[in-house]
């Protein structure tokens, strides 16, 4: 376990982020390998089918993943405060809540699969493949939910390295299973779905074994599952806003995906391939953000308020530098990277993907700011504002889907992401400035209180 309340903030943040970054990149291999293998072996239509379901997965599975991330914030605060009984109770509450939510989402989503695909205007030529892939991913969603919960809890205790190793192993297993199921068993697009679910299930088992053998602070029994409503409510107050935030953002993505589907298979394929590059390129930004949630939560629990402010400032500069570098790489070498997925002969798809990179890559700085501010506020237990920021993202994406796509076609769809990031930052920035002021006031109040206590102690000794 790693205590983030002691030592130089930037050094701790950087070394905590590195395993998290590598782990997130390997996590992208789940979807990246789907795209590479499906695109190269099953063709552009199969690739578009996988891509057309991404926003639906984000809506449903993302809700549960946002919930587990929020639940772990309380665990990190208990750990920072050295309340180890609270850590165990928090872990038990997180398990119960995640299991209930996961089961409900699985049942509902499986029932409405066809309705969702029709509502999204999924092109008829990819409808069957899209349905097959989505049914497998949603039917097995308890596997990624369980893995995300256990990974977030382990990271809440300051350990970002162990989940990395489990991700590496499961990602390699995922690639191997996809090749086996698609090329060996000829399962088609279903093979990609089953490989992903099985790999995440294996990662979940690895997390459980590690906790049993190496993390006694997370060993829980029946007594920890005797839940107290006030404690459950405290977790839901942080977890549910983060879950709804993910869903609100996803709704905007679904509306945009429907508009994108209306532009044809080439647009869907170009966006699917380009987004895989985009997801890898933005992992440093996302990883720094996730680190700040744990860093802020632990230090808030330890009442080290000035340390939080210092850590955020330093990380802003570091993450901003990465955002500029990532954007330049995409703008310069975008076509070559997309060619890995669809080949270099389909110029229509390649040209569309370059349009995507020109617009997205030049605005990463806003995404960098968004991740840092949003996750810091969440680490402080302030989940309402990030949810409002998610609503701003929804508004901007809907505006792009309904207005800009009609006016500008594909470039209008690409502009939705930068507009969403700017809208979110417009909400987050004032809230973050207010939070900094309150943290500084808390720090001053504690200094006064500590000074008075020391003065009283000195007078008592003199007497």
Do the domain assignments include residue 462? no
Do the domain assignments include residue 232? no
What's the pLDDT at 459? 57
Do the domain assignments include residue 441? yes
- 159-172 pLDDT tens trace: 888 988 888 888 88
Nearest Cα to 95, choosing from 265, 263, 221?
A: 221
**pLDDT band for position 198 (cuts 50, 70, 90):** very high
**pLDDT band for position 256 (cuts 50, 70, 90):** confident
Do the domain assignments include residue 236? no
Cβ–Cβ < 8 Å for 48, 39: no
What distance in Å separates the CA atoms of residue 87 and residue 220, rounded to the nearest whole number?
10
**pLDDT band for position 88 (cuts 50, 70, 90):** very high
Last residue of a domain, one of 201, 227, 253: 227
What distance in Å separates the CA atoms of residue 275 and residue 78, rounded to the nearest whole number?
37
Regarding whether 44 and 169 lie in a shared domain, the answer is yes
Regarding whether 298 and 352 lie in a shared domain, the answer is yes
Nearest Cα to 48, choosing from 298, 335, 341, 281?
A: 341
Regarding whether 213 and 114 lie in a shared domain, the answer is yes
Q: Domain residues for 389?
A: 241-450
pLDDT for 312 beyond 60: yes
Give the Å distances, CA to CA, from 347 to 44, 261, 395.
Answer: 13, 19, 33
What's the pLDDT at 93? 94
Other residues' Cβ atoms within 10 Å of the Cβ of residue 422:
17
3-state SS record for the chain: CCCCCCCCHHHHHHHHHHHHHHHHHHHHHHHHHHHHHHHHHCCHHHHHHHHHCHHHHHHHHHHHHHHHHHHHHHHHHHHHCCCHHHHHHHHHHHHHHHHHHHHHHHHHHHHCHHHHHHHCCCCHHHHHHHHHHHHHHHHCCHHHHHHHHHHHHHHHCCCCHHHHHHHHHHHHHHHHHHHHHHHHCCCCHHHHHHHHHHHHHHHHHHHHHHHHHHCHHHCCCHHHHCCCHHHHHHHHHHHHHHHHHHHHHHHHHHHHHHHHHCCCHHHHHHHHHHHHHHHHHCHHHHHHHHHHHHHHHHHHHCCCHHHHHHHHHHHHHHHHHHHHHHHHHHHHHHHHHHHHHHCCCCHHHHHHHHHHHHHHHCCHHHHHHHHHHHHHHHHCCCCHHHHHHHHHHHHHHHHHHHHHHHHHCHHHHHCHHHHHHHHHHHHHHHHHHHHHHHHHHHHHHHHHHHHHHHHHHHHHHHC
What's the pLDDT at 432? 94
Do the domain assignments include residue 458? no
What distance in Å separates the CA atoms of residue 290 and residue 457, rounded to the nearest whole number?
41
Nearest Cα to 325, choosing from 285, 279, 274, 374?
A: 285
- 339-375 pLDDT tens trace: 876 666 778 788 888 888 999 989 999 999 999 999 8
Regarding whether 324 and 178 lie in a shared domain, the answer is no
Cβ–Cβ < 8 Å for 171, 29: yes
pLDDT for 62 beyond 90: no
Other residues' Cβ atoms within 10 Å of the Cβ of residue 64:
27
Please indicate, yes or no, whether the overall pTM of this predicted structure exceeds 0.75: no
What's the pLDDT at 342? 67
What's the pLDDT at 1? 63
pLDDT for 260 beyond 80: no
Do the domain assignments include residue 382? yes
Regarding whether 192 and 263 lie in a shared domain, the answer is no
Regarding whether 246 and 222 lie in a shared domain, the answer is no
What distance in Å separates the CA atoms of residue 363 and residue 278, rounded to the nearest whole number?
12
Regarding whether 332 and 221 lie in a shared domain, the answer is no
pLDDT for 446 beyond 50: yes
pLDDT for 26 beyond 80: no
Q: To which residue do tokens 């030529």 refer?
A: 125
pLDDT for 239 beyond 80: yes
**pLDDT band for position 95 (cuts 50, 70, 90):** very high
More confident residue, 235 or 458: 235
Regarding whether 352 and 321 lie in a shared domain, the answer is yes
Last residue of a domain, one of 178, 198, 227: 227
Last residue of a domain, one of 168, 196, 227: 227
pLDDT for 461 beyond 50: no
Regarding whether 245 and 209 lie in a shared domain, the answer is no
Cα angle for residues 339, 344, 345 (degrees, 5° grid): 145
Do the domain assignments include residue 168? yes
Lookup: tokens for 209? 């074994």
Regarding whether 172 and 59 lie in a shared domain, the answer is yes
Cβ–Cβ < 8 Å for 146, 98: yes
Q: What whole-number percentage of the chain has pLDDT above 90?
A: 26
pLDDT for 104 beyond 60: yes
Regarding whether 351 and 276 lie in a shared domain, the answer is yes
**pLDDT band for position 33 (cuts 50, 70, 90):** low
pLDDT for 278 beyond 70: yes
Number of domains in the chain: 2
What's the pLDDT at 27? 65
Regarding whether 251 and 145 lie in a shared domain, the answer is no
Do the domain assignments include residue 70? yes
- 365-403 pLDDT tens trace: 999 999 999 989 988 888 788 888 888 888 888 888 888
More confident residue, 154 or 158: 154
What's the pLDDT at 455? 57
What's the pLDDT at 38? 77
Question: In the predicted model, what is the mean pLDDT of the chain?
Answer: 85
């Amino acid at each position: 376990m790693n205590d983030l309340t002691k030592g130089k903030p930037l050094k701790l943040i950087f070394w905590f982020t590195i395993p998290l970054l590598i782990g997130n990149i390997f996590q992208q291999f789940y979807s990246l390998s789907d795209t590479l293998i499906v695109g190269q072996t099953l063709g552009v239509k199969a690739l578009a089918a996988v891509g057309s379901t991404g926003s639906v997965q984000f809506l449903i599975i993302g809700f549960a993943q946002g919930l587990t991330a929020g639940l772990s914030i309380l665990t990190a605060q208990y750990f920072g405060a050295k309340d180890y009984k609270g850590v165990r109770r928090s872990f038990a509450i997180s398990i119960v809540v995640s299991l209930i939510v996961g089961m409900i989402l699985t049942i509902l989503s499986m029932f409405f699969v066809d309705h969702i695909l029709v509502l999204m205007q999924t092109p008829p030529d990819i409808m069957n493949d899209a349905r097959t892939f989505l049914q497998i991913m949603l039917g097995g969603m308890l596997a990624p939910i369980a893995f995300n919960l256990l990974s977030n809890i382990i990271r809440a205790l300051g350990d970002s390295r162990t989940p990395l190793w489990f991700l590496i192993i499961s990602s390699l297993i995922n690639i191997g299973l996809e090749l086996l199921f698609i090329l060996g068993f000829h399962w088609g697009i279903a093979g990609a779905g089953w490989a992903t679910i099985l790999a995440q299930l294996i990662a979940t088992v690895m997390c459980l074994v590690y906790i049993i053998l190496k993390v006694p602070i997370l060993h829980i029994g029946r007594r920890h599952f005797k839940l107290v409503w006030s404690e459950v409510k405290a977790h839901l107050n942080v977890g549910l806003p983060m879950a709804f935030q993910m869903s609100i953002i996803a709704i905007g993505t679904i509306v945009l995906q429907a508009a994108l589907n209306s532009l044809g298979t080439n647009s869907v394929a170009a966006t699917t391939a380009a987004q895989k590059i985009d997801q890898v390129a933005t992992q440093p930004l996302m990883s720094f953000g996730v680190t700040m949630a744990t860093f802020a939560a632990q230090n808030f629990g330890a009442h080290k308020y000035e340390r939080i402010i210092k850590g955020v400032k330093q990380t802003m500069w570091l993450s901003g530098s990465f955002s500029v570098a990532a954007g330049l790489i995409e703008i310069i070498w975008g076509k070559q990277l997309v060619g890995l997925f669809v080949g270099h002969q389909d110029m229509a798809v390649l040209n569309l993907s370059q349009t995507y990179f020109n617009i997205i890559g030049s605005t990463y700085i806003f995404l960098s700011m968004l991740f840092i501010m949003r996750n810091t506020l969440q680490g402080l237990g302030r989940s309402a504002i990030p949810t409002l920021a998610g609503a701003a993202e929804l508004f901007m994406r809907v505006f792009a889907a309904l207005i800009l796509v009609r006016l500008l076609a594909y470039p209008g769809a690409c502009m939705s992401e930068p507009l969403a990031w700017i809208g979110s930052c417009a909400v987050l920035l004032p809230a973050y400035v207010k939070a900094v002021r309150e943290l500084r006031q808390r720090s001053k109040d504690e200094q006064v209180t500590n000074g008075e206590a020391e003065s009283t102690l000195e007078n008592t000794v003199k007497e």
